[in-house]
Amino acid sequence: AIAALRSGDDNATSAPAIQWRWRHLANHGEVAAALELLREHRLDEAAIVAVAASRSGEAIDWLVASLGIDGNGSSPSLQQRIEAALVTQATSLSTQLEPELAELLALMRCYVSVGRRDLAWQIAEQVNRSDLQLEESTVREEMLSSLAAVYRDDWVLRLAVRPGQTSISAETQSIVVGGLVDRDHGTFKTLIDTYGRMNPQTPLDERFDVVCSLINGKVPSSWDPTTDFQRLFDELTMGKRQIQRVGGQAMMAATPQLNLNIVELFGRHGETELADRALQRMVGLGDIAAAFQLAENQMASSNGRSAESLYKSIIQAIGAQRPSRQTVFGATGTDTATKSVAALWLLAKRSTDPDAISKLNEELRIALCSPSTELRSSVAEYLAGHGENELAAEIYERLLPMTAYGAREGTSFYGVSNQFVSLMKDTNIAPAASWFDIAARGTLDPRYPATVAVSLPLHVNRWKVQAAIDRGDASAVTRHLERIAALDPIDIDTAETYFPKLAKAGMTDLAETKIAAVLREGESYLERFPLDAMMLNNLAWIASVNATELDKAVQWATRAVYLEPDSAIYRDTLAEALFRSGEIDQAIRIEKACLIDTPAQWHLHEQIRRFEAAR
């Protein structure tokens, strides 16, 4: 099968056929063969997949050779190539991205991944000056999308709106919103418009910066918390004003522009009173989602009677709905009513009322006989979020075969299997991993991002390692670890999570052999890319948690902190490496310094307690 996929016949050389061939090869660990095949078809895509498989050096070599720039990516050579690529794109008769520019964007992603942010930024900043239009996007939007794919959301925010710009395209908004805490287009647009009404003279780029900061929980320098949060609340509550004609007369009408994401925004900034007022206002306007959230807040605050009353009113309101008339809560689906029944069942369990528990359990199970896969999935997620894992797992298990053949409502088999894995990973991972393995096959379709051909098989094999550890099957553990190494020889997640479990399960020799192999690959990588602070930090961390190569762990972590001194994460890794090396007092001092920058990080408090207990 591998030989046939690699060579192909005359009927297997079309672009779609090549996509299927290389994805199947990669999915089964034949990454080198997959990349060789893909390079002939799409060099830029091959480079991106290579980076996902920890083959960044190969990816950069391919791209610099194709683009004709020197191996170090020196600025003059790179600048000239960017200029030439933009000229080629501008004079092209095609409305698609030309290969040279596509390869430059892939090179930008590679440079981000190996810590060469200077060169990556040079490409991003220069391409961002272009206004070239493609068939369905612009060159700028392709660049922003590439940055978002490598989680440089900070760069996306810096480049998305240029000074003097007066509008934001729908595609740019989509890219920006995907990197914000609240990934909701409506909330983003509402806040942009509202802030514009509050400060009509403020340019769009400044409004954009303020809104994105607020959504992400940061207070902009131009924002006065003592007055501006109240002003924002007042403006949102008053809503957008519009002229409406009633009985032939023009009247000013306004609709409040509140939603649950805005309620959370106020809460994120510690404005709990404004958050509560916004939620109450939404409930008063008949917002069923707000009523349910208010009931959830009451239950979380142990105000059971108030929560019970709210849940019952929600159920009654939804039950009273008719096509011809609206209730006080407005039209909504039955999933909220079913979740309200589930909430009442949870409250009954807290009060230990056996009759109520039995009655509500029966009502809940009757509701879950609904043919609606969306309803079942929503309720299962709700129950799992409240710790009712047994019933949630039962719902997911019944959903899996239903969604595997496609659901009318579009409930994703992949999504259900992913939720099932999340629920079962600490108890019985084997069946969940098998379901996800089947679901992942659906992502071999070329419509899905190229990197999933590597990333999803990694997830599956990690979970199968866990299942094999649980049943003490060393040969299966070895088999799945070999597949992981074939997919990604520097897979940090496996080294961090599963190698220590191998040692605890008595497979010490196997754990030592595998961690040594990962660290060797990592050292080789760092010889070429010594400025990659993330890799330095990751290697230091996995060496520390596996209690091996501690001297190197301290060196790597120290260098990572030198490169990124503001990162509390990297300083935490250095503290861990020092602690494991016996430098306990120094480790404690570093962790306490981290708390000054990130006092809400509970992990740091736990680290300090653990370190102090070992004195």
Residue 176 burial (C-beta neighbours within 10 Å; 0-12, 13-18, 19+): buried
SS (H, E, C) 126-186: HHCCCCCECCCCEHHHHHHHHHHHCCCHHHHHHHCCCCCCCCCCHHHHHHHHHCCCCCCHH
Per-residue pLDDT for 245 more than 70? no
Q: How far is CA 48 from CA 76, 453, 535, in A?
A: 24, 11, 17
3-state DSSP call for residue 242?
Answer: strand
Per-residue pLDDT for 329 more than 50? no
Residue 318 pLDDT: 87
Contact (Cβ atoms closer than 8 angstroms) between residue 416 and residue 375: no
Please report which confidence band the pLDDT of residue 8 belongs to, taking 50, 70 and 90 as the band edges: confident
Q: Please list, in sequence order, all residues whose beta carbon lies within 8 angstroms of the beta carbon of residue 38, skipping any fewer than 6 positions away.
A: 18, 22, 45, 46, 49, 450
Give dist(CA 494, CA 466) in Å, integer.
10
Q: List 253's β-bridge partners, or say none.
A: 242
Overall residue count recorded for the chain in this entry = 615
Give dist(CA 479, CA 466) in Å, integer.
12
Give dist(CA 37, CA 19) in Å, integer.
9
**Percentage of the chain with pLDDT > 90?**
81
Residue 15 pLDDT: 86
**H helix or E strand, kind and range, residue 253:** strand 249-255
The tokens for 367 are: 């509701």
Task: Please give the torsion angle defined by the CA atoms of residues 585, 591, 596 and 602, in that order, rounded to the nearest 10 degrees.
Answer: -140
Of 6-15, 353-362, 432-441, 451-460, the one with minimum mean pLDDT is: 6-15
Give dist(CA 357, CA 389) in Å, integer.
17
Within 546-583, residue ranges assigned H as helices are 550-563, 568-580
Rg (CA), the chain: 27
Per-residue pLDDT for 545 more than 60? yes
Nearest to 311 by CA among 330, 288, 328, 327: 288
Please report which confidence band the pLDDT of residue 98 belongs to, taking 50, 70 and 90 as the band edges: very high
Distance from the Cα of residue 597 to its chain's centroid:
24
Side chain identity at residue 423, one-letter code: L
Please report which confidence band the pLDDT of residue 410 belongs to, taking 50, 70 and 90 as the band edges: low
Task: Please tell me which residue, 255 or 88, carries the higher pLDDT value.
Answer: 88
Give dist(CA 522, CA 126) in Å, integer.
32
Please report which confidence band the pLDDT of residue 268 belongs to, taking 50, 70 and 90 as the band edges: very high
Mean pLDDT along residues 408-427: 87
Please report which confidence band the pLDDT of residue 322 belongs to, taking 50, 70 and 90 as the band edges: low
The tokens for 345 are: 């069942």
Q: How far is CA 288 from CA 293, 318, 337, 436, in A?
A: 9, 9, 10, 34
Mean pLDDT along residues 527-548: 97
Mean pLDDT along residues 554-569: 96
pLDDT digits (tens, 9 = 90+) for 270-283: 999 999 999 999 99
Residue 319 pLDDT: 83
Give dist(CA 348, CA 325) in Å, integer.
33
Give dist(CA 400, CA 499) in Å, integer.
31
Mean pLDDT along residues 290-319: 93
Residue 12 pLDDT: 80
The tokens for 568 are: 């509390």
Per-residue pLDDT for 248 more than 70? no
Give dist(CA 285, CA 293) in Å, integer.
14
Q: Quote the pTM value.
A: 0.90
Contact (Cβ atoms closer than 8 angstroms) between residue 409 and residue 374: yes
Per-residue pLDDT for 219 more than 90? yes
Task: Please give the torsion angle defined by the CA atoms of residues 34, 38, 43 and 49, in that order, rounded to the nearest 10 degrees.
Answer: -40
Residue 242 pLDDT: 54
Residue 326 pLDDT: 44
Given 3-state DSSP classes, what are the helix, strand and coil percentages for the chain, each rounded to the nearest 5? Answer: 70, 5, 25
3-state DSSP call for residue 5?
Answer: helix
Placement of tokens 């892939």 in the chain: 106
Q: List 133's β-bridge partners, or say none.
A: 138
Residue 615 pLDDT: 85
Q: How far is CA 137 from CA 48, 123, 127, 234, 310, in A?
A: 21, 18, 14, 37, 47
Q: Please list, in sequence order, all residues whose beta carbon lies within 8 angstroms of the beta carbon of residue 400, skipping any fewer than 6 positions away.
A: 413, 416, 417, 420, 435
